[in-house]
Amino acid sequence: MTCELSVNVDHVATVRQARGGNEPDPVRAGALALQAGAAGITVHLREDRRHIQDRDVHGLRALCGPGRGELNLEMALTEEMIAIALAIKPDRVTLVPERREELTTEGGLDVALHAKAIEAGAARLRAVDIPVSLFLDPEEALAAPTRAAGATIVEIHTGAYANAGDPAAVERELDRIGRAAVAFEREGLRVHAGHGLTVTNVGPLLQRYAFTELSIGHTLVSRSIEVGMEAAVREMIAAIGAARRP
Ligand code: PXP
Model confidence over 175-215: pLDDT tens digits? 999 999 999 999 999 999 999 999 999 999 999 999 999 99
The pLDDT of residue 106 is above 80: no
The pLDDT of residue 246 is above 70: no
Pick the CATH number of 4-242 from 3.40.50.970, 3.20.20.70, 3.40.50.720, 3.40.190.80: 3.20.20.70
Mean pLDDT of 56-78: 97
* pTM across the whole model: 0.96
Cβ count near 176 (within 10 Å): 18
Tell me the pLDDT tens digit for each residue of 224-240: 999 999 999 999 999 99
Q: Is 108 helix (H, G, I), strand (E, B) or coil?
A: coil
Q: pLDDT at position 107, please?
A: 76
- Could you tell me which residue, 113 or 98, shows the higher pLDDT? 113
Please say if 70 is a catalytic residue.
Answer: no
Give percent helix, percent strand, percent coil of the chain, each to the nearest 5.
50, 15, 35
State how far the Cα of 207 lies from the Cα of 209, in Å rounded to an integer.
Answer: 6
Query: In angstroms, what CA-CA distances link 184 with 79, 99, 113, 133, 190?
Result: 27, 26, 18, 12, 8
Percent of the chain topping pLDDT 70: 96
Cβ count near 227 (within 10 Å): 12
Would you list the domain boundaries of the chain? 4-242
Confidence label for 101 from pLDDT (cuts 50, 70 and 90): low
Q: Give the closest residue (by CA) to ligand 1 atom 15.
A: 196
| Per-residue burial over 187-218, b = 16 or more CB atoms within 10 Å of its CB, e = otherwise | bebbbbbbbbbbbebbeebbebbebebbbbbb
Tell me the pLDDT tens digit for each residue of 147-165: 999 999 999 999 999 999 9
Tell me the pLDDT tens digit for each residue of 3-41: 999 999 999 999 999 999 999 999 999 999 999 999 999
CB 215 less than 6 A from any atom of ligand 1: yes
Please say if 11 is a catalytic residue.
Answer: no
Q: pLDDT at position 102, please?
A: 65
Q: pLDDT at position 105, please?
A: 64
Q: pLDDT at position 112, please?
A: 84
Q: Give the closest residue (by CA) to ligand 1 atom 5.
A: 105
State how far the Cα of 174 lies from the Cα of 58, in Å rounded to an integer.
Answer: 37
Confidence label for 104 from pLDDT (cuts 50, 70 and 90): low
CB 104 less than 6 A from any atom of ligand 1: yes
